Amino acid sequence: MTRQGWWKFQARAAPYLFVSPFLIIFTVFLLYPLSRSFYLSFHRTVGPGHQMFIGLGNYRFLLRHDLLFGLAVLNTAIYTVAFLLLQIPISLGLALLLSGRGVRLKSVFRFSFFSSYLVGQVFVGVIFFQFFSPGGLVNQTISALLGRRIVIGWLSNPAMVLPSVLIAGLWLATGYGMVYFQAALQAVDPELYEAAHVDGAGRCRRFLHVTLPGIRHVLVYMILIGAIGGFQLFELPFVLLQGAGPGGRGITIVMYLFIMGFNAGDLGYASAIGWLLVAMLLIIFAARLRFFRTHQEMTA
């Protein structure tokens, strides 16, 4: 082949070559198990090579009859909404504070906030298990602040289960959000602030009309991964509550999936739960995208 011919060839083949290692590994190691789970979700599995085709049976039972699944969806949804409502403002607020001029020791603050993310869900569960025990750090702090001996059953009282998991989850993830928001705030063009200031806009107006739109992309990204993370939550409550928790109030969708798949042994049922979760998230995403697009069109 001539040199020019080779150059033309590789110019055209390059994109395919570049994605091919990714695509091949992706297809073999991700797509195959994924499609296998799709196939399994229409079966009932009871043993080696023993699968019974039941069509939509799993899905029907899940949606119509399975009370535990309903409980799991409720717990997960409440957790995710509460998590987002708290994490986004707190991490954004922290990032705003940290971005102010004249703030010293920025990198120290940043490191201390982000360090909680380094630990991973399992260890957060282990550490907070000790914190939330009747004689643990949290009760001790509250007792010290109020002057009386207060014992709250963080992990044994079903009403307190959600706050416990929420606190642990927020501790883990807020630093992560803060770092992202801080980077985003840095990227907002300072001239826009100048212009707004010149126009006489107060701090509140500046925030609403310059800052928020400027960090729009990161905001959406944070909400999306927060929603995904919230819906997929499993290890943290599982380790913290050592299972489903009192009265089943700690069950999440993925925890229920795990119990049904690896404790009761019905992998088909577990796969169906997984695909329902994906469907739920897709619906939420579609709704969000529609919401943001119309919002964009309105404000454009």
Partner 1 sequence: MRFTLGRPVFALLLVALASGSAVLVRPAEPRANLVVWTFSQAQADFFRNSSLPRQFENRTGFSVGISLMGQSGENIRLASAFMSDGRGAAAPDLCEIEIDAIGQFLRPPIRDIGLLPLNDFLARSGWESRIVASRLAPWSKTDPATGRQIICGIPEDVHPVAIAYRKDLFEQAGIDLAQAKSWNEFQSLCQRFESFWASRGFHDRRAIALSTSNPDELLEMLLQRHINLIDSDEQLHFTDAKVLGTLTFYARMIAGSGAVAGEPSPGVQWTEDLEHGNICAICAPDWKVDDLRRFSPDLAGKIALMPMPRFEPDDSATSTLGGTMIGICRSCPDPERAWELLEYLVLSPQSHESAIAAGDDVLPAVSQYWSDPAYHRPDAFFAGGQSADDLFVTLAAQIPQRVVTPFTYQAELALGVVLHRSVTFLRQQGPEGLDDACAGWLADAQNDIGRRIEFGKIEP
Partner 2 sequence: MRKAAIHFLLTLTAIIAVLPFFWLICAAFKNPQDLAGSTFVPWNHLNQLTLDNFRALADQPVGRWLVNSIFLASVHTVLVVTLSSLGGFALAKYQFRGKGLIAVIMLITILMPSQVFLPGSYELMYHLHWLDSYWAIIVPGSVSVLGIFLFRQAMRELPDELLQCGRLDGCSEARLWWEIALPVVRPMIAAYTLLSFLSEWNSFLWPQVILQSESKFTLPIGLNNLNGLPQFQHSYGIVMAATLISILPVAVFFFALQGDFISGLASGAVKG
Helix, strand, coil share (%) of the chain residues, nearest 5: 75, 5, 20
**Nearest distance from residue 109's CB to partner 2, in Å?**
6
Q: Which stretch binds partner 2 (CB under 8 A): 52-60, 107-115, 150-158, 290-298?
A: 107-115
Q: Is-contact 269 256, C-beta < 8 A?
A: no
Q: Is-contact 114 176, C-beta < 8 A?
A: yes
Residue 74 contact among partner 1, partner 2, none, beta carbon within 5 to 8 Å by kind:
none
**Nearest distance from residue 67's CB to partner 1, in Å?**
6
3-state class of 137 per DSSP? helix
Q: Does 11 bind partner 2 (CB under 8 A)?
A: yes
Residue 111 contact among partner 1, partner 2, none, beta carbon within 5 to 8 Å by kind:
partner 2
Comparing CB distances to partner 2, the nearer of 32 and 53 is 32
Task: Using CB atoms within 10 Å of the CB of residue 233, give its burial: 0 to 12 exposed, 13 to 18 middle, 19+ buried.
Answer: buried
- Binding partner 2 (rule: CB under 8 A), the pick from 15, 47, 49, 202 is 15
3-state class of 53 per DSSP? strand
**Nearest distance from residue 39's CB to partner 2, in Å?**
9
**Nearest distance from residue 132's CB to partner 2, in Å?**
12
Q: Does 46 bind partner 2 (CB under 8 A)?
A: no
Comparing CB distances to partner 2, the nearer of 115 and 294 is 115
- Binding partner 2 (rule: CB under 8 A), the pick from 54, 160, 201, 228 is 228
Comparing CB distances to partner 1, the nearer of 210 and 276 is 276
Q: Which tokens sit at 190?
A: 């300072």
CA distances from 82 to 141, 170, 244 (A): 24, 10, 20
Degrees to nearest 5, angle at CA 241 with 235 and 245: 115
Q: Does 296 bind partner 2 (CB under 8 A)?
A: no
- Binding partner 1 (rule: CB under 8 A), the pick from 34, 57, 162, 223 is 57
Q: Does 76 bind partner 1 (CB under 8 A)?
A: no
Phi, psi of 51 (to 5 degrees): -125, 140
- Binding partner 2 (rule: CB under 8 A), the pick from 177, 245, 250, 261 is 261
Comparing CB distances to partner 2, the nearer of 117 and 207 is 117
**Nearest distance from residue 225's CB to partner 2, in Å?**
9
Sign, CA torsion 27/28/29/31: positive
Give, as one character, the DSSP assignment of residue 116: G
DSSP string, 14-48: HHHHHHHHHHHHHIIIIIHHHHHHHHHTTEEEEET
Phi, psi of 215 (to 5 degrees): -105, 20
Q: How many binding residues for partner 1 (CB under 8 A)?
A: 37
Q: Does 53 bind partner 2 (CB under 8 A)?
A: no
**Binding stretches for partner 1 (CB under 8 A):** 44-50, 52, 57, 61, 65-68, 129, 133-135, 153, 155-158, 242-248, 259, 262-267
